[in-house]
Structure 1
Amino acid sequence: MRILISGASGTIGKAFIKQLEPGKHQVKRLVRRTPSGPNEVQWDPVAGGLDPSIMDATDAVVNLSGAGIAGAPWTRSYKETLYSSRLTSTRTLVESMRLADSPPNIFLSQSASGYYGDRGSEVLPESAASGNLLLSDICRRWEAEALRAPSSVRTVLMRTGVVMSTSGGALPKLLIPLRFFVGGPLGSGNQWWPWVTLDDQVRAMAFLLEAEVSGPVNISSPSPATLTDLTEALGAALNRPTRFRVPEWVLTAVLGQLAKELLLPSARLDPTVLKSAGFEFRHSSLDDLARWVRESR
């Protein structure tokens, strides 16, 4: 399969490329600079620049573009960057598909669990309504751009949860205070976190290239956990206490809207579509996660 990837230099992108079976796929990375080899294609997502002919030679497009949610303080300017980095890149990919003589068969486009907002203990399959946070609005608009792909393209909206990776994402930030015996839940600790290991994230993406699935897909463990339970499992893996709770008022005072949008909301995702399609998670429980953390130390 000939695969074109945007955002290939990120944590998920790098791991996804490694996950793909060698020899079975031909991968090309979209880059903004001058290409350094035949496996790179230049584009300009801001100006909408991507030669449609590249789509004629592509079977699947994987869209992972977007500025990091916690990549900078949430100033007005950075909020605009969160929107624009996702919407313009997705729009550029879709417009290129629409102009192509032979568009790709598959479009995997990134979204996030933030689509659902702050929902307490409500179980959230893919059919659940969207929320009212800023991240919810970003995800709705992001997905709307992806759904403009030609009707012949099987489009999958990957609503990814909190990706656990020892090389990036949320996990290292949670482990640092635990290693120094000062870790614990954030806020009440009762919020549900839809965690997924990086390994299962990229395995699910590879699965979705082949599975006859379209529309929204929750990519998260079938065993979501409250942040208290998640922190305790990680503490047990490191043999560290988890009694140092960080109050909600401290988080909002230090991080402002970022805390209210990213750390404190509760989203109890259920990966209904993946389970129905036959995907098997390698790390489906907190015990699996703790074991994986111990083995990765």
Structure 2
Amino acid sequence: MEIVVTGGTGLIGRHLIPRLLESGHQVTVVTRNPEKARQILDSRVILWKGLEDKKNLNHVDAVINLAGEPIADKRWTEQQKERLCQSRWSITQKLADLINASDTPPAVLISGSAAGYYGDLGEVVVTEEEPPHNEFTHKLCARWEQIASSAQSEKTRVCLLRTGVVLAPKGGILAKMVPSFRIGMGGPIGTGRQYLAWIHIDDMVNGILWLLNNDLQGPFNMVSPYPVRNEQFAHALGHALNRPAIVRIPATAIRLLMGESSVLVLGGQRALPKRLEASGFAFRWYDLEEALADVIH
């Protein structure tokens, strides 16, 4: 297949693209910085600098849209919120427009979203049917999904990736957490009772390939079947690093440090991959301690 990928140099893209190439697919990555992308990606990957010169996506078989500025890297000022939204909405709108302008459009658009779609629902078990709360993360994800879904037609199916916290070597949440845990300064955040919906990078990639190769559409919670509480996660991470995990970080300190974005770590979703499992997908990584041991070197 000829597959166009956005966000190809990000955490998920860097692991997904080698698997696509292994399977014999031709991969084109849309990037703002081809020089940097060329240093990161396999030489077989074709690079497009943006989409401005494209009129349609005829002869492209699939689009995997993973683009978006990292959501937890900066405080959520109004300007940063706008950047977070536009970095997702704009390219998704462009892709949807190109798909809709195609005579022979891609058979599938797999587009990013996040478990943050649901907002902070505490103890509620969250499946794809759960009504969301009206928080910033929901507004960001709901519009993102709405734009992607506008590409749905008889010729093109749309899958939405409501992704949890991705566990992978050299990046993501672990890149932020591991340094403090290594020196014995890690531990639960706030009450530690909030749920963390996680997924191993292998299952994330395999899940995307599953959606690529099966006739499925709609939203999918890309999370392990076993979400854990924050305190369980901290304990498991400490165990994986052979370090204590007893330095509890007060919620007030997190709110001072992160402002409104503190909801990302003080809140959470007890999300389950109901639709993915119902479709026949089999997870490799169910146990958090095993998953952490695999990705931490």
The 8 Å contact of residues 50 and 92 in structure 1, kept in 2 or not, is answered as no
* Aligned position for 2:170: 167
* Aligned position for 1:105: 107
Q: Which sits farther off after the overlay, 98-107 or 34-43?
A: 34-43
* Aligned position for 2:29: 29
* Aligned position for 2:92: 90
Alignment pair present for 1:146 and 2:153 = no
Does the C-alpha gap of structure 1 residues 86 and 245 become closer, same or farther in structure 2, counting only changes over 3 Å?
A: same
The 8 Å contact of residues 126 and 271 in structure 2, kept in 1 or not, is answered as yes
Specify the code of the residue in structure 2 equivalent to 1:75: T
Distance 2:256 2:117 in 1: 25
Which of 239, 254, 259 is equivalent to 2:257?
A: 254
Q: How do 1:14-25 residues align onto structure 2 when only pairs under 5 Å count?
A: 14-20=14-20, 22-25=22-25
* Aligned position for 2:158: 155
Specify the code of the residue in structure 1 equivalent to 2:240: A
Structure 2: gaps spanning 5 or more residues: none
- Give the C-alpha shift of residue 71 in structure 1: 2.7
The 8 Å contact of residues 189 and 248 in structure 2, kept in 1 or not, is answered as yes
Alignment pair present for 1:41 and 2:48 = yes
The 8 Å contact of residues 166 and 201 in structure 2, kept in 1 or not, is answered as yes
**SS of residue matched to 1:185:** coil
Distance 2:53 2:216 in 1: 27
Specify the code of the residue in structure 2 equivalent to 1:12: I
The count of corresponding residues between Structure 1 and Structure 2 is 289
Distance 1:253 1:286 in 2: 30
* Aligned position for 2:7: 7
Deviations 1:119-147 (A, max 9, x none): 01111111111222101110000000001
The 8 Å contact of residues 87 and 145 in structure 1, kept in 2 or not, is answered as yes
Distance 1:50 1:178 in 2: 47
Deviations 1:69-107 (A, max 9, x none): 023222211111011111111000000011111110010
Does the C-alpha gap of structure 1 residues 104 and 50 become closer, same or farther in structure 2, counting only changes over 3 Å?
A: farther
- Give the C-alpha shift of residue 266 in structure 1: 2.0
Q: Which segments of structure 1 move beyond 6 Å, counting only runs of 4 or more? A: 34-38
Which of 201, 216, 219 is equivalent to 1:216?
A: 219
Specify the code of the residue in structure 1 equivalent to 2:102: A
- Give the C-alpha shift of residue 285 in structure 1: 1.5
Specify the code of the residue in structure 2 equivalent to 1:119: L
**SS of residue matched to 1:78:** helix
Does the C-alpha gap of structure 1 residues 125 and 100 become closer, same or farther in structure 2, counting only changes over 3 Å?
A: same
- Give the C-alpha shift of residue 21 in structure 1: 5.0
Does the C-alpha gap of structure 1 residues 241 and 33 become closer, same or farther in structure 2, counting only changes over 3 Å?
A: closer
**SS of residue matched to 2:22:** coil
**SS of residue matched to 1:256:** helix
- Give the C-alpha shift of residue 291 in structure 1: 2.9
